[in-house]
C-alpha cells in the first residue's frame, strides 16, 4: 500500500484490492434492535441474509448501551423476542436483562440461519447507477468488500445512507443541535424492596426535590440533571436477597456531536465521571442503596439522534401530535414527545410549531416534562393549536408510514430504527426499542418482497406488504 502525504498533512491512499467475501440477497447493516428485526424478517421470507455489527454483541443501545427498558408495542418479532426473554427470567414489568437479551438475539439469529459478522464496521458503500452494489468492511481481517442486492441501513446513524450519498437531516431544525447523550450505568448490592417502600419513592419519585436540595446545599456541585430519567430493576437475579441490581439513566452530556470521534471521546469520559459521582451520591442519599457499588458503565454511549434520512415521506412533528393515519402504516407507536434537552437540564415534552401563522407550544399529552415551555403549561396547545378546554390529546397510537423507511435517492436501500425519515421532534417520539424492532421487521419483509416482485423497494405492492405483516403478527 502506497501513501502520498500532502503538504497540509492529509493523506492520499493508493487504490488497493479488497477481498470479496460473498454475495447476499439482503445485507442488514447494524445489529441493534432495528437490524435484528430486519434480518429475522428478511431471512424468514426466504432471503439469504448477512447481518453486520460493529460491536461484539447484537442489540445496540438496548444491550451494549444498557437501555434495558424495551417500551412500546410488542408484536410479531418484538413479541417473540420479549417472550423468549421472559422464558429465561430476563424480562419483568417492561425491564430486561441486557446479558440475557444478547443471548436471546444470538439464538434467534442463529435459528433463522442468518449469517452474522460481529466486530466488523461498515466504512463505505459502493454505488453504481443509483444502487448500492456492496459495502466495504473493516475488522481484524482487514478491509473487505461484500456484495448484495438489497441493503437495510439500521446503523442508527444512517452511516450507509450517508456513505451512499443519500440526502440526510441531522439535529434540531432550528440550530442543528442533537439530543443529550447519556452513559447509562448499573449499581449492584441494592436493597430494592427498601427503596420501593421509602418516602423518596412515594413522594419524590423522580428525585426532583432531592436533586434540588442537594444542589442548593452543595452535595451536588454541578447540576447534571434536574430529575432521575429512569432507574430499572434488572431481572434474572436472585429475588428479594437485598442484593439487587439497578440500571440508571441520569448521566448526560450536552451540546453533543455524536458524529465526531473527538466529541464521542469527550462524552465517554464525562459519562464515566458522572457515573462515579452519581454512584457515590446515590449510595449516600437514597434509601436501599447504602451498600451499593458501581458494576459498570455502558460500552456504547446512549446516542438518541444523529442522522436521519430524507425519505419518500418525512414524518412530521404535527403528524405525531395529531396521531395522523397513513395508508402505508407499517407499525405504530404509543410514545409521546420525549426530547432530552440538547443544551440544558430537563426533558422537553412539547414542540414549538407554527400553526395557522401562530407560534404554538404543542404537546401530545398535556404534560410538559421537566422543562416547561416559555408560554407556561396552561397555554400549551394540542396538535391543532387549540388551548384550554378545547384541547384534545388523542390517546391513539401514531402511525409510521412505509415511505419513511425509503430514501428518496438510492434505489435498493431501506432504513429502519432511529434514523427513519422524520422531523427532529417526530424522531424523538418514535424511537422506542420495540418500535425499532417493528420498523426493522417491516423493512426486512419489504426487502424480501421486492426481490420476489423484482422491483425496487419503493415500488413494491404496499397492500401485499401490509397483508404479510398482518399475517406474520398473527402467526
Ligand atoms: C440513554 C437512552 C435511553 C433510552 N431510553 C429508552 C427507554 O426507556 N425505552 C425505550 O424503548 N427506548 C429508549 N431509548 C431509545 C432506544 O434505546 C433506541 O432508540 C433504540 O434502541 C434504537 O435502535 P436502533 O436499532 O435504531 O439503533 P441502535 O441501537 O443505535 O443500533 C445501531 C447498531 O448499528 C451498529 N452500527 C453503527 N454504525 C455501524 C457501522 N458503521 N458498521 C456496523 N455497525 C454499525 C451499532 O453498533 C448498533 O449496534 C433510549 C435511548 C437512549 C440513548
Distance 84 CA to ligand 1 centre (A): 20
Residue 7 CA to ligand 1 center (angstroms) comes to: 40
Residue 245 Cα to ligand 1 middle (Å): 22
**CA neighbor of 416 nearest in space, from 172, 135, 158, 55:** 158
Q: Whose CA is nearest to atom 53 of ligand 1?
A: 302
- Return left, alpha or beta for 32; rule: phi > 0 is left, psi -120 to 50 is alpha, else beta: beta
pLDDT average, residue stretch 224-234? 94
- Nearest-CA residue for atom 12 of ligand 1: 432
Mutational test site, ligand 1, from 30, 122, 135, 337, max ligand atoms within 8 Å of CB? 30
Mean pLDDT of 203-207: 96
Q: What is the pLDDT of residue 433?
A: 98
Alpha-carbon span 186 to 249, nearest angstrom: 9
Contacts of 469 (CB under 8 A, 6+ apart): 76, 330, 331, 441, 442, 445
pLDDT grade for 240, boundaries at 50, 70 and 90: low
Using a 6 Å CB cutoff, which residues line ligand 1?
29-35, 52-55, 60-62, 67, 69-72, 121-122, 154-157, 159, 182, 184, 230, 249, 302-304, 417-418, 431-433, 436
pTM above 0.95, yes or no: yes
pLDDT at 368 over 90: no
Angle value at C-alpha 400, between 230 and 396, nearest 5 degrees: 70
The DSSP letter of residue 378 is G
End-to-end CA distance of the chain: 53
| Nearest CA residue ID for atom 15, ligand 1 | 432
State the alpha helices, DSSP H only, in 6-163.
Answer: 33-44, 77-87, 98-111, 159-163
Helix or strand or coil: residue 156?
A: coil
Q: What is the pLDDT of residues 77-130, one digit of tens each?
A: 999 999 999 999 999 989 999 999 999 999 999 999 999 999 999 999 999 999
In the prediction, which pLDDT does 11 show? 96
Q: How confident is the model at residue 237 (pLDDT cuts 50, 70, 90)?
A: confident
Q: Which secondary-structure segment (H or E) carries 398? A: strand 398-401
**Average pLDDT of every residue of the chain:** 96
Q: What is the pLDDT of residues 124-164, one digit of tens each?
A: 999 999 999 999 999 999 999 999 999 999 999 999 999 99
Is the per-residue pLDDT at 231 higher than 90? Answer: yes
Grid cell 404509543 in the structure block, residue: 334
Q: Is 278 left (phi over 0), alpha (psi -120 to 50) or beta?
A: alpha
Region 234-256 average pLDDT: 90
Residues of the chain with CATH 3.50.50.60: 19-172+401-474
What is the percent of the chain with per-residue pLDDT over 90, rounded to a whole number?
A: 94
Fold of 19-172+401-474: FAD/NAD(P)-binding domain (3.50.50)
Give the whole-angstrom CA distance, residue 37 versus residue 405. Answer: 14
Across 383-406, average pLDDT: 94
Share of the chain above pLDDT 70, in %: 100
Distance CA 88, CA 100 (A): 7
Residues shown for the chain: 475
178-202 confidence digits (pLDDT tens): 999 999 999 999 999 999 999 999 9
pLDDT digits (tens, 9 = 90+) for 270-324: 999 999 999 999 999 999 999 999 999 999 999 999 999 999 999 999 999 999 9
Query: Pick from 264, 274, 265: which is nearest to 297 by CA?
Result: 274
Confidence grade of residue 258 (pLDDT, cut at 50, 70, 90): very high
Q: Whose CA is nearest to atom 23 of ligand 1?
A: 33
Region of 76 (left: φ > 0; alpha: ψ -120 to 50; beta: rest) is: left
* Ligand 1 centre distance from Cα of residue 28 (Å): 15
274: which strand partners? none
Q: Which positions ≥6 away from 340 have C-beta within 8 Å?
A: 179, 180, 182, 229, 252, 304, 347, 348
Amino acid at each position: 500500500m502506497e501513501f502520498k502525504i500532502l503538504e497540509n498533512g492529509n493523506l492520499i491512499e493508493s487504490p488497493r484490492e479488497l477481498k470479496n467475501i460473498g454475495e447476499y440477497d439482503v445485507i442488514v447493516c447494524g445489529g441493534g434492535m432495528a437490524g435484528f428485526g430486519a434480518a429475522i424478517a428478511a431471512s424468514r421470507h426466504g432471503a439469504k441474509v448477512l447481518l453486520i455489527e460493529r460491536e461484539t454483541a447484537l442489540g445496540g443501545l438496548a444491550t451494549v448501551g444498557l437501555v434495558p427498558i424495551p417500551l412500546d408495542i410488542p408484536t410479531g418479532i418484538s413479541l417473540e423476542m420479549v417472550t423468549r426473554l421472559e422464558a429465561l427470567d430476563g424480562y419483568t414489568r417492561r425491564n430486561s436483562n441486557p446479558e440475557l437479551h444478547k443471548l436471546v438475539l444470538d439464538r434467534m439469529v442463529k435459528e433463522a440461519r442468518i449469517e452474522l459478522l460481529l466486530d466488523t464496521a461498515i466504512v463505505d458503500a459502493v454505488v453504481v447507477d443509483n444502487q448500492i452494489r456492496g459495502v466495504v468492511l473493516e475488522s481484524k481481517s482487514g478491509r473487505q468488500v461484500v456484495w448484495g442486492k438489497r441493503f437495510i441501513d439500521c446503523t442508527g446513524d444512517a452511516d450507509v445512507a450517508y456513505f451512499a450519498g443519500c440526502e440526510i437531516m441531522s439535529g434540531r431544525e432550528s440550530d442543528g443541535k442533537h439530543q443529550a447523550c447519556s452513559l447509562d450505568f448499573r449499581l449492584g448490592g441494592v436493597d430494592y424492596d427498601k427503596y420501593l417502600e421509602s418516602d423518596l419513592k412515594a413522594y419524590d419519585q423522580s428525585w426532583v426535590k432531592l436533586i434540588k436540595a442537594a444542589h442548593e446545599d452543595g452535595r451536588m456541585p454541578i447540576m447534571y440533571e434536574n430529575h432521575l430519567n429512569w432507574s430499572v430493576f434488572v431481572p434474572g437475579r436472585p429475588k428479594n436477597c437485598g442484593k439487587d441490581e439497578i440500571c440508571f439513566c441520569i448521566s448526560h452530556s450536552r451540546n453533543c456531536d455524536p458524529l465526531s470521534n473527538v466529541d464521542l471521546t469527550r462524552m465517554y469520559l464525562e459519562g464515566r465521571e458522572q457515573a462515579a459521582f452519581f454512584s457515590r451520591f446515590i449510595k449516600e442519599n437514597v434509601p436501599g442503596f447504602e451498600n451499593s457499588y458501581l458494576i459498570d458503565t455502558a460500552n456504547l454511549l446512549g446516542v438518541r439522534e444523529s442522522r436521519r434520512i430524507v425519505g419518500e415521506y418525512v414524518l412530521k412533528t404535527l403528524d405525531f401530535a395529531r396521531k395522523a393515519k397513513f395508508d402505508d402504516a407499517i407499525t405504530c407507536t404509543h410514545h409521546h414527545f420525549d426530547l432530552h434537552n440538547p443544551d440544558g437540564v430537563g426533558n422537553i415534552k412539547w414542540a414549538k410549531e407554527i400553526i395557522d401563522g401562530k407560534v404554538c407550544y404543542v404537546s401530545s399529552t398535556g404534560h410538559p416534562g421537566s422543562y416547561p415551555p416559555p408560554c407556561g403549561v396552561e397555554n400549551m396547545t394540542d396538535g391543532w393549536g387549540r388551548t384550554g378546554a378545547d384541547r384534545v390529546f388523542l390517546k391513539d397510537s401514531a402511525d409510521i408510514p412505509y415511505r419513511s423507511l425509503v430514501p428518496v435517492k438510492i434505489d435498493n436501500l431501506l432504513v429502519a430504527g432511529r434514523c427513519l425519515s422524520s422531523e427532529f421532534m417526530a424522531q424523538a417520539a418514535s424511537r422506542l426499542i420495540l418500535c425499532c424492532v417493528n420498523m426493522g421487521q417491516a423493512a426486512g419483509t419489504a426487502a424480501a418482497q421486492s426481490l420476489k416482485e423484482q422491483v425496487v423497494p419503493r415500488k413494491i405492492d404496499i397492500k401485499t406488504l401490509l397483508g404479510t405483516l398482518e399475517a406474520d403478527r398473527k402467526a
